[in-house]
Structure 1
Amino acid sequence: MKRLLIAAVAALALAAPAAQVEAWGNTGHRLIGMAAIRALPDDLPAFLRSPEAAAAIGELSREPDRWKGAGQPHDRERDTAHFVDMTDDGRIMTEAGLSIDALPRLKSEYDAALQTAGIDVDDAGYLPYAIMDAWQQLVRDMAYVRVLTAQANRETDPGKKAWYLSDLKRREALTLRDLGVLSHYIGDGSQPHHTSIHYNGWGDYPNPEGFTNSRQTHGLFEGAFTSRVASLQSVEAGMAAPVLTGFDLKGRTVAYLKTTLGQVIPFYQLEKAGGFRDANNAPDPRGAAFVNARLSAGAAELRDLTILAWRASGEASIGWPAVKVAEVEAGAVDPWLSMIGED
């Protein structure tokens, strides 16, 4: 891949609130997933809010990186989900690229628009679509959890009840896995290098402030420095209050990525000022604050999108023939045929 990826693997001591591990590729994703789960409100299901779930999401948040190396077409179709390269004013790759504010409804339409502008999607990345796709999958998972939970609690037939309970366990496991995937892409979207054409040094662009052109910049930021300063305690302390009103999936995704894009120049200014080097044999506190603030932004976004997915799942229809989740939860519909399948 064109990006410098850090693959170091380290153990996370879950009992330590300020646990640190090596490389944002692991540290950032683990901490974002854990912090988000630990911040979920009580009206979400208990299986999502347990310490075991926080630990699981921390690990599953790394999953899309662990998929790599399977071969083609697997890798090529997934590698470019991790980023979207934008110009400083929010256009995809070049000034000829479409604006992030004008994302089409479908990824195929996005690909076509890029090709019209002479841009290869493999170069540009499609992170916004990865985030939206993962969120929509989470909503489906949660809708099934709702139906299975409601019906298992009221079912009087022993055979059917046993099936509902077994399928609920399967669905809970899938929900955790898919929440981990969403967490990964949200985490990618909190890292400024994953939203910018300046992903490995400033690059061959106008550079009036004299920012570094070192291609090691990305890796050094994600690696040794971040492994020394990132902590669960700091991430949790920096999380903003939930923002849950006026939700629009595409609009929310675009706003999130644009906010991260806005941190690219501050990153390079801080790098130039020495903020990501050690000072007096200790990490520079300015750089430490920057790292933890970015992780906090990711954790807060994942927390909010998880809550919003749960809310949206209550309005869904699932199964075949389709049943409304709300009607099953109200006891107005028996979902057996829709869940087990008519054939």
Structure 2
Amino acid sequence: MRSVLLAAIAGLALAPSAAYAWGQTAHAVIDRAAIEAIPADGPVFLRKYEDYVAASATQPDAWRGDSENFSKIEEDPNHGWFREQFTFVKPIPRSRYEFVLALYKHYEKIKDSDPATAARTNVRWTGTLPYAAIEAYDRIVVCMRQVRAAQAEGRDASVPEQNCAFDVFRLGHYIGDGANPMHDSVNSDGWRGANPHGYTTDRTVHGRFESKFVDGIALTVADIAPRIGAPGREQGDMFDAVLAYLDQSGNKMEAVYKLEKRAGFADFTDKDVREMVYERTSAGAAMLRDMLCRAWAESAAPPAKVVPSPLDFTNPKFNPETGSAPD
């Protein structure tokens, strides 16, 4: 097992560099803090894979290279949720493909009357982050059931555990991205549109906040661990919880721009910028920890029997446009 993990980490070190979100530092800190905050009745087996998950924390960004365009087209939208771009979609569909269709229908409606807006009415410029997160979450529930089954039967659980660890770093990346307010707004890479307060339009603002400043303060797990708190989100709908989490983060977007006006994130002693980083990364770690614990709890029960199947034409929620019923 150790040799497998070391080989994986070595492979990551040799991989081509990519434009990272939060940066390796913050993503790894969020993942480590989440795993270390798992309580004794949670999926503690993940602690064996903490180094692997942390080393893989920015791997989803490596799937966005221009030279691997099939992967890029699928993966790029998973890292953002630009809420201003789809205010016309209410409620948010519980299906990735219904969301895509809603965007396309609006695009068709406005493409002639408002071509500039239409050009950004698509998944690349709206994002699909909550769908990527909940899809990874569902896969984690499945592999955790397999871990439990192996444990109950006295079998080696290492393979399903490794499968879980893979999807944990995927989920961790999307939740980590969502913790950064700049991933939850059209102003992700510099202020767009009307700008009465004179916020920066420099595209480097994103990296100066989430990478340069984070590295400059040498963020560690110890900085945020006391802020994570006790597990929560044991009840309620997880997709709704993800949407609420992204809204809470996105509501802090302008505060980030206000902080940038001070010193362009170049002053690593700035207590307010530090507080923003600590608060947002601890929120990401808490959300990830809560999702992992909730997945572990759900995995204790057998999968629900859905009758008729989501693919059955007789399912009352069946949508012929997508060929399936939403969750």
TM tier relative to shorter chain: 0.7 to 0.9
Conserved in 2, the CA contact under 8 Å of 1:23 and 1:226? Answer: no
2:46 matches 1:53: no
Conserved in 1, the CA contact under 8 Å of 2:175 and 2:288? Answer: yes
2:207 matches 1:219: yes
Amino-acid identity (%) = 34
TM-fit CA distance, 1:94: 5.0
Q: What's the CA shift string for 1:201-257, capped at 9, x where partnerless?
A: 111x22222211111111111222111122211121222432234321111011000
Correspondence list, 1:1-343, <5 A: 24-49=22-47, 52-69=48-65, 71-87=68-84, 93-95=85-87, 97-99=88-90, 102-118=91-107, 119-152=121-154, 164-165=155-156, 168-203=157-192, 205-229=193-217, 230-274=219-263, 276-278=265-267, 282-317=268-303
Tell me the SS of whatever aligns to 2:242: helix
Conserved in 2, the CA contact under 8 Å of 1:275 and 1:284? Answer: no
Tell me the SS of whatever aligns to 1:26: helix
Conserved in 2, the CA contact under 8 Å of 1:33 and 1:61? Answer: yes
Conserved in 2, the CA contact under 8 Å of 1:187 and 1:298? Answer: yes
Tell me the SS of whatever aligns to 1:273: helix
Tell me the SS of whatever aligns to 2:153: helix
Q: Report which stretch shifted further, 284-293 or 68-77.
A: 68-77
Structure 1 letter corresponding to 2:237: D
Following the alignment from structure 2 to structure 1, what is the Cα–Cα distance between the partners of residues 122 and 43? 42
Superposition RMSD in Å: 2.0
Tell me the SS of whatever aligns to 1:317: coil
Following the alignment from structure 1 to structure 2, what is the Cα–Cα distance between the partners of residues 125 and 221? 20
Conserved in 2, the CA contact under 8 Å of 1:242 and 1:304? Answer: yes
TM-fit CA distance, 1:295: 0.6
Structure 2 letter corresponding to 1:224: K
- The number of residues matched between the two structures is 272
Conserved in 1, the CA contact under 8 Å of 2:43 and 2:296? Answer: no
Following the alignment from structure 1 to structure 2, what is the Cα–Cα distance between the partners of residues 216 and 287? 17
Distance 1:213 1:61, change over 3 A: same
Following the alignment from structure 1 to structure 2, what is the Cα–Cα distance between the partners of residues 122 and 130? 13
Conserved in 1, the CA contact under 8 Å of 2:144 and 2:296? Answer: yes
Gaps of 5+ in 1: 1-8, 11-21, 88-92, 153-163, 319-343
Following the alignment from structure 1 to structure 2, what is the Cα–Cα distance between the partners of residues 249 and 150? 27
Q: Report which stretch shifted further, 226-235 or 40-49.
A: 40-49
Conserved in 2, the CA contact under 8 Å of 1:34 and 1:54? Answer: yes
Higher radius of gyration, 1 or 2: 1
Tell me the SS of whatever aligns to 2:289: helix
Structure 2 letter corresponding to 1:78: E
Distance 1:308 1:174, change over 3 A: same
Distance 1:275 1:291, change over 3 A: farther
Gaps of 5+ in 2: 1-11, 14-19, 108-120, 305-327
Following the alignment from structure 2 to structure 1, what is the Cα–Cα distance between the partners of residues 61 and 264? 28
Q: Give the equivalent residue in structure 1 for 2:308.
A: none
TM-fit CA distance, 1:23: 7.7
Structure 1 letter corresponding to 2:215: S
Structure 2 letter corresponding to 1:277: A
Distance 1:212 1:109, change over 3 A: same
Normalised TM-score (structure 2) = 0.78
